């Protein structure tokens, strides 16, 4: 893949940061978890109305995921996406990128800088990757562990500082130089994961006292080293349940290190939120609510939260309702609703 230089990309991104097109300041930090029916797409809109889209769902069924992303952008009042981050190259995370970029301008594309070593010869990759190249036109910023996406902050200091920081990318962790797959005495390390999941970009968004973790589809051993022996992230208020809630991820050691107050699982009707993950989340003393994008048809009560926390209770809903989290950094609360008009619940930030 053609990469632009970091200096050029940073200059480009800083220029964008200096002049966001979505001029209407929002004051809240809004996070929309979009129904990609088992894929990934999360839209972040900062208090200064900058926007970050993490992943773009699947190409098929045709238009479904792009329609849902564009609808969320419209509900958020966006006229452009400032940063579009592709966490990794799986079909459920970048499939709709071309259609999305044709329907709303994208100012800066971001990815982890290399293609999946194990999956480049698959038919779906050969079909989707040219669409990615067409969308990005080869202008992509590589995001490495330890780097930030340079979001704009309030020069007057009235809005609490906001920071979007990459803690893992390409199976490398900020501050850890060792072998991620090497055995660790007294801990469960799994067989090396050679898939692109382990190489996902993992991000921590901080706004004042509020912290949100979104780790794409990173798997068990990467999670281990983010949590042990040093808790490199600390506690978070909001956790996007990693890898749709699959047991390949969601290492209990990591979940305990994060100790989230609320979590949202990007599961599908028949994908994700597996019983071990669900049990581990429920066992966290910190957890106040588990939200799911979908009802899980596979595991009954062993894989489903209470109905009022499930955005899409039907197997194939036409609407594809999102979950919206509005963070009010100044008063220390976040409010969560299902869809634009659904009932709201408020949780205190830790
Ligand atoms: Zn995925």
DSSP for 154-199? -TTS-SPPEEEEEEEETTEETTB-S-TTS--TTS--PSP--SGGGG
Element at 292 (helix H, strand E): strand 289-294
In percent, the amount of the chain with pLDDT more than 70 equals 93
User: In angstroms, what is the span from residue 30 Cα to ligand 1's centroid?
Assistant: 22
| 271 compared with 317, residue with greater pLDDT | 271
User: In angstroms, what is the span from residue 276 Cα to ligand 1's centroid?
Assistant: 18
User: In angstroms, what is the span from residue 69 Cα to ligand 1's centroid?
Assistant: 16
Confidence of residue 26 (pLDDT cuts 50, 70, 90): low
Arithmetic mean of pLDDT over the chain: 92
| 295 compared with 7, residue with greater pLDDT | 295
DSSP for 36-104? -SSS--EEEE-TT--EEEE----STTTTHHHHHHHHHHHHTT-S-EEEEE--S--HHHHTTHHHHHHHS
pLDDT over 50 (residue 123): yes
User: In angstroms, what is the span from residue 157 Cα to ligand 1's centroid?
Assistant: 37
List the one residue out of 37, 185, 201 whose CA is nearest residue 111. 201
Q: What's the confidence (pLDDT) of residue 331? A: 77
- How large is the average pLDDT for residues 133-141? 98
User: In angstroms, what is the span from residue 87 Cα to ligand 1's centroid?
Assistant: 9
Instruction: Give domain status of residue 16, yes or no.
Output: yes
Tell me the C-alpha distance between 284 and 42, whole Å. Answer: 24
Cβ contact 111:86 at 8 Å: yes
User: In angstroms, what is the span from residue 91 Cα to ligand 1's centroid?
Assistant: 8
User: In angstroms, what is the span from residue 272 Cα to ligand 1's centroid?
Assistant: 9
- How large is the average pLDDT for residues 158-176? 95
Range of the domain at 317: 6-348
Q: What is the DSSP code (8-state) at residue 206?
A: E
User: In angstroms, what is the span from residue 250 Cα to ligand 1's centroid?
Assistant: 13
> Among 8-22, 81-95, 180-194, 219-233, which is the least confidently predicted range?
8-22
Instruction: Give domain status of residue 164, yes or no.
Output: yes
pLDDT over 80 (residue 168): yes
Q: What's the confidence (pLDDT) of residue 1? A: 39
Tell me the C-alpha distance between 183 and 219, whole Å. Answer: 15
- What is the domain-level CATH number for residue 304? 3.60.15.10
Residues 200-230: tens digit of each pLDDT: 999 999 999 999 999 999 999 999 999 999 9
* Tokens describing residue 192: 């090396």
User: In angstroms, what is the span from residue 89 Cα to ligand 1's centroid?
Assistant: 9
Q: What's the confidence (pLDDT) of residue 158? A: 87
User: In angstroms, what is the span from residue 333 Cα to ligand 1's centroid?
Assistant: 29
Q: What's the confidence (pLDDT) of residue 25? A: 54
Domain count, the chain: 1
* Tokens describing residue 50: 């900058």
List the one residue out of 210, 206, 350 whose CA is nearest residue 286. 350
User: In angstroms, what is the span from residue 21 Cα to ligand 1's centroid?
Assistant: 30
Cβ contact 203:166 at 8 Å: yes
Confidence of residue 115 (pLDDT cuts 50, 70, 90): very high
User: In angstroms, what is the span from residue 93 Cα to ligand 1's centroid?
Assistant: 6
User: In angstroms, what is the span from residue 256 Cα to ligand 1's centroid?
Assistant: 22
Q: What's the confidence (pLDDT) of residue 228? A: 96
Q: What's the confidence (pLDDT) of residue 119? A: 86
77 sits in the region (left: phi over 0; alpha: psi -120 to 50; else beta) called left
User: In angstroms, what is the span from residue 56 Cα to ligand 1's centroid?
Assistant: 11
Reported for 22-29, long-range contacts at CB under 8 A and 24+ positions apart, including other chains, are 22/49, 22/50, 22/51, 22/77, 22/78, 22/79, 22/80, 22/82, 23/49, 24/49, 24/77, 25/49, 27/159, 28/326, 28/327, 28/328, 29/162, 29/205, 29/207, 29/210, 29/326, 29/327, 29/329
Confidence of residue 317 (pLDDT cuts 50, 70, 90): confident
Instruction: Give domain status of residue 1, yes or no.
Output: no
Instruction: Give domain status of residue 250, yes or no.
Output: yes
User: In angstroms, what is the span from residue 49 Cα to ligand 1's centroid?
Assistant: 27
Angle 285-245-337 from CA coordinates, rounded to 5°: 70
User: In angstroms, what is the span from residue 1 Cα to ligand 1's centroid?
Assistant: 21
Tell me the C-alpha distance between 117 and 114, whole Å. Answer: 8
Q: Is 24 exposed, middle or buried, given 0-12, 13-18 or 19+ CB atoms closer than 10 A?
A: exposed
In percent, the amount of the chain with pLDDT more than 90 equals 85
Handedness of CA 46, 317, 214, 333 (dihedral sign): positive
Instruction: Give domain status of residue 130, yes or no.
Output: yes
Cα 209 vs. chain centroid, distance in angstroms?
19
Tell me the C-alpha distance between 274 and 224, whole Å. Answer: 19
Residues 329-338: tens digit of each pLDDT: 777 799 999 9
User: In angstroms, what is the span from residue 17 Cα to ligand 1's centroid?
Assistant: 29
CA distances (Å), origin 296, targets 77, 303, 306: 31, 6, 12
């Amino acid at each position: 893949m053609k990469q632009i230089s970091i200096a050029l990309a940073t200059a480009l991104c800083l220029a964008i940061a200096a002049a966001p097109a979505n001029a209407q300041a929002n004051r809240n930090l809004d996070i929309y978890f979009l129904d990609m029916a088992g894929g990934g797409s999360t839209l972040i809109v900062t208090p200064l109305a900058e926007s970050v889209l993490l992943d773009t769902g699947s190409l098929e069924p045709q238009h479904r995921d792009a329609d849902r992303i564009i609808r969320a952008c419209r509900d958020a009042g966006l006229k452009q996406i400032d940063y579009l981050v592709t966490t990794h190259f799986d079909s459920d995370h970048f499939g709709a990128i071309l259609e999305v970029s044709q329907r709303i301008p994208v100012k800066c594309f971001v990815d982890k800088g290399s293609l999946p070593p194990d999956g480049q010869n698959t038919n779906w990759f050969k079909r989707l990757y040219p669409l990615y190249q067409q969308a990005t036109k080869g202008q992509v910023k590589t995001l490495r562990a330890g780097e930030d996406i340079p979001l704009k902050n309030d020069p007057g200091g009235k809005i609490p500082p906001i920071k979007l920081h990459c803690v893992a990318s390409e199976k490398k962790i900020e501050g850890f130089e060792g072998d991620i797959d090497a055995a660790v005495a007294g801990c469960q390390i799994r067989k090396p994961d050679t898939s692109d999941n382990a190489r996902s970009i993992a991000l921590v968004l901080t706004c004042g006292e509020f912290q949100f973790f979104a780790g794409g589809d990173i798997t068990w051993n990467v999670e281990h080293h983010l949590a042990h022996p040093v808790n490199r992230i600390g506690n978070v208020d909001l956790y996007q349940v990693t890898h749709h809630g699959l047991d390949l991820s969601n290492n209990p050691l990591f979940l305990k290190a994060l100790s989230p107050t609320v979590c949202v699982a990007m599961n599908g009707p028949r994908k994700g939120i597996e019983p071990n993950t669900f049990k581990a989340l429920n066992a966290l003393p910190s957890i106040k609510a588990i939200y799911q994008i979908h009802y899980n048809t596979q595991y009954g009560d062993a894989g489903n939260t209470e109905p009022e926390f499930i955005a899409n209770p039907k197997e194939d809903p036409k609407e594809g309702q999102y979950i919206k989290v509005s963070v009010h950094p100044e008063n220390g609360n976040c409010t969560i609703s299902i869809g634009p008009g659904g009932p709201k619940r408020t949780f205190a930030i830790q």
